[in-house]
Chain A
Amino acid sequence: MLDSVLDGLARVGDPTALLYLVIATLIGVVFGVLPGLSGLTALALLLPLIYGMEPGAGLAFLLAAHAVVNTGGSVTAILLGIPGAPANTATLVDGFPMAKQGRGGEALGAALAASGIGGVIGVVFLIILLPVLQPIVLLFGSPETFCLVIMGITFIAGLGHQNLTIGLISAGFGMYLGFFGYQQVSGVPRYWLDYDYLLNGFRLIPLALGLFAIPELVSLAASGGTIARDGARTGVLRADVYKGFRTAVSRKWLVLRSSMIGVVIGIIPGIGGETSPWVAYASARQTSPEGDKFGKGAIDGVIAPESANNSKEGGALVPTLAFGIPGSSAMALLLGGFFLVGLEPGPEFLKKHMDIAVSLALTVALANILAVVVLLGVARHLAAITKVRGHLLAPSLLVLLILGTYSVANSTTDVMFMFGFGVLGVLLREAGFNRPALLLGFVLAPLAETYLHISLNVQGWSFLLRPISLGILGLTLLALLWPMIRRSLRKIRS
């Protein structure tokens, strides 16, 4: 094992490999920063480019680019309130209010630190688990996945801060929308109205961008002013960024816990990467003594999701490398990359090419660190975008969104739906509905349905008694009751 680590290090240290790493990282960051272009799109577009590259280098190229998309995406999420990728949506809930208060630099610094540390933690776990990768993946079956999905769904309640009823309705509506299209289990397309596009139901990226990005653009366009409100300090000093950075570094337990959440959810194939930042966010909120500040500019609300959405990369590599089973749709593309360069992840791969596996892990870590360094350097200038006039910014960003959405599946219909959801998003925002709950319900409900069906068919209701399932359900219950427990504990002490 140690030999492999050293070999892996040597691979990564190779000058050509390093060059690819740098280029890929920069590309990934740019993709992340540009709203509408997600990590998935980045991979899809870069995949054909690695033809003919040396296998390790080609894969490292893809991985490095993908690993840092969410780091770049945090920039747009915080400064513009527009998720650079769906996984950054959780960041904007607190990050954007911070930007509006003139604390954008601080938020950026915290996000970058969290991303970097989270990414590295994810890799550390991956490397630790490499020798025992397969047994780990085998531990998590459909029942465990179902319980994790349930945990995700219960955390939805923890996302909104005002009206529980409205939050539940938002979630319920999102879930209902998630049921459109093919039912995974039966193959019957629900509510497709004889319209081919709807066979797969509504799509995630048009929904996410429409619900979150378009309303922000509308606000920008309506006010015509800058994002950073008048009266708030619009300048972003280096000091601010470093302050945020240091804050994130000091919140050790929060970062660790959020990264763990990202890694675990990443390991389970079948749960999308979009879920982990939200679960981390909700968990941070439950356990923070300043839980009510979340949603209005709490820095923890930026640190938690950003740690999770970078650490999940390390987790997603686990089933991918262990069995050739993609831990996420991005990993499915990466798998394609493996085949393209003539490699096959799986048990044989780990035996023969452990050094490549290690080098890939290290690539992710290095890319994360590099991205953070680069972005820190330009953070001040990036933050200047909050000073650009709304009339210039809004239409330009909209064009980017249109192109990005089109790129996902070469579909103008996606673009049309994005606009449709955009209108809905504006209305929902003004009426105070809980859009994150809607999004999560949309993602999670069909998963719950599928995994419940499988679990029941495979084991009957006793699947709930499996040790890990019980553990997850227990954690969920604990997290739900934690605020109450903490209050009682305080009362007992005082």
Chain B
Amino acid sequence: MRGLTVGLLAFIAVFIAVFLAAGEFVYDYSFPVHRFPIIIGLATIALAAFAVIRTLARPAPKDDDGENAPAWPRGTTGALLWLASALPMVIFLGYLVGPALFLLLYLRLHGEKWLTAILFAAGCAAFIYLGFHELLAVRVPLYPFWWPE
């Protein structure tokens, strides 16, 4: 996990640094506006740098649990990608078809029977329409943005 830890620390440091620089040199924030972010941001960057050095200086941990030094759990990336696919589906297909289709595809391609998948998808669409759109009056965009009025 060292790679991930170091990577995240670096990301945090760079993220803050970039925005601090933007604040100072591009947006030209006055001191009262920028003072807290600068203080906290610099402190965090300093700590992050320190943590990176310390992590890299240590030998890679293989001791305590032997082979079970914390590693990226299997299947996480795949699961993340799968779940992330819901977003474009919702954006491009609307909040009715999008989630339903997402459920249908997900369930089917993860080994569930057609019947289960279809029932879930249909149930989802019904729940969204009746529960959210009608009952709670949350006007989720039922149609995608490119749908002609």
Contact = CB atoms under 8 A, between A and B. Distances in A.
B36 A449 contact: yes
A190 B23 contact: yes
Interface stretch (A240-248, A289-297, A397-405): A397-405
A220 B80 CA distance: 10
Contacts of A407: 132, 136, 138, 140
B86 A445 contact: no
A16 interface: no
A430 B86 contact: no
B137 A176 contact: no
Given A219-B76, A222-B76, A391-B112, A173 B44 contact: yes
A488 interface: no
A431 B72 CA distance: 9
A402 B84 CA distance: 11
Interface in B1-28: 1, 4-5, 8-9, 12, 15-16, 19, 22-23, 27
Nearest to B35: A449
Interface in A378-401: 391-392, 394-396, 398-399
Q: Which of A48, A169, A186, A407 has the largest count of B CB atoms less than 10 A from its CB?
A: A169
Q: Which of B48, B82, B83, B103 has the largest count of A CB atoms less than 10 A from its CB?
A: B83
A214 B91 CA distance: 18
Given A431-B4, A445-B40, A449-B36, A169 B111 contact: no
B114 interface: no
A391 B106 CA distance: 8
A79 interface: no
Contacts of B23: 190-191
B73 interface: yes
A165 interface: yes
A413 to B, nearest CB: 10
A396 B120 contact: yes
Contact of B82 (A48, A214, A221): A221
Interface stretch (A126-134, A339-347, A415-423): A415-423
A223 interface: yes
B75 A222 contact: yes
Contacts of A422: 83-84
* Chain B interface size range: 35 or more
A391 B43 CA distance: 42
A395 B103 contact: yes
B93 interface: no
A75 interface: no
Contacts of A165: 47, 50-51, 54
Given A173-B12, A445-B40, A403 B95 contact: yes
Given A218-B76, A391-B107, A172 B47 contact: yes
B124 A396 contact: yes
A406 B87 contact: no
Contact of A191 (B22, B36, B73, B110): B22
Interface residues of A, number: 54
A427 interface: yes
Nearest to A221: B79
B138 A399 contact: no
B107 A169 contact: no
Nearest to B110: A391
A224 interface: yes
Interface in B22-68: 22-23, 27, 29-30, 32-34, 36-37, 40-41, 43-44, 47-48, 50-51, 54
Contacts of B76: 218-219, 222, 426, 430
Contact of B79 (A218, A396, A415): A218
A185 to B, nearest CB: 8
Contacts of A419: 84, 87
A431 B8 contact: yes
B8 A399 contact: no
B121 to A, nearest CB: 10
A348 to B, nearest CB: 33
Interface of A: 45, 48, 165-166, 168-169, 172-173, 175-176, 179, 183, 185-186, 188, 190-191, 214, 217-224, 391-392, 394-396, 398-399, 402-403, 406-407, 410, 412, 415-416, 419, 422-423, 426-428, 430-433, 445, 448-449
24 contacts: A45-B138, A48-B137, A166-B5, A169-B12, A169-B47, A172-B43, A172-B44, A173-B12, A175-B44, A176-B19, A176-B44, A179-B36, A191-B19, A221-B83, A222-B76, A223-B73, A395-B83, A398-B102, A402-B86, A403-B140, A412-B141, A416-B87, A426-B76, A431-B8
